[in-house]
Structure 1
């Protein structure tokens, strides 16, 4: 039986992710994993994240799971979600936090004249955080886009977004004030800023594609 480990370090929407994966792949064993051994033994790994970057990095380290995530990044299919995508890069402007540094790049906050300070402002500027459905442009083909039409909307909740140093990492982009990378991929890694587990049928299709993917 295919084993899918969801890295459970206390900062993610784990149960919703597990339900979506189990629905998309009822034949698989989907497990919330709090030990390095469970992650190491899995066939595929999902790395979610939610909340402030500094808290996510701190709790990942306190859980003793940083090295197991890095091992997975190097040797098995891995799906990063939301802050789990952001954590793959060098640093975030959120608290000037150093992260895993697997990819070169920084995580920036939505800013500039197009944006209000927060979601409570009532003028015509874009609100931060960015919340809701937004179309995703498929910058280049990838097996995880299979059966998902270009410009399909996915569900976003975020104030920060990754800026890869290597533009070839970007496989999906969205528009909020300006275009931003919302899906990255290289070799055995696919990571997204949006939430597949909250994105209805299209999110489930992406989850199924991840289960079937053989990089």
Structure 2
């Protein structure tokens, strides 16, 4: 009997060690890629009431974001088009350091018609990720949040968007307040360079 208990204990220890290795490996990978990683489950923030995807179409300028592994440039824009009810075409573009423009095409789909502000966005070769519109007036600003659970911790994404390359400090503070209220560390938000001269290649 002692041998059996010893064997079971060893299996438990082995499993725990394996989980620790996986956890630390993933932690290092995400940390190195500048993803925002936090302990605890994803929050469930309130989203935009009566969200209308058709009014969300058009061009948006990225003003601030939580760091991501897949965005390396500046002058970021997102252009949305209505493909079908509840489905938006997505075109994301950014200006890289070498002066070239990096663009990627995808789609954002409403998962549940009863909650149209909770979309899932996907690009070629990538699994879908949450794209929740927490606040938008359609004509001025948009606050987007996405969170994915990884067991003991979560990975957060967030963007503050504007119809123009700039956004008032008052609006920024209001949107950052919304993020803070759901536990997002807004100190991690980084501004996107939308200087007209620097971003000229994006408009050619």
Q: TM-score range by the shorter chain?
A: under 0.3
Higher strand fraction (1 or 2): 2
Largest Rg, 1 or 2: 2
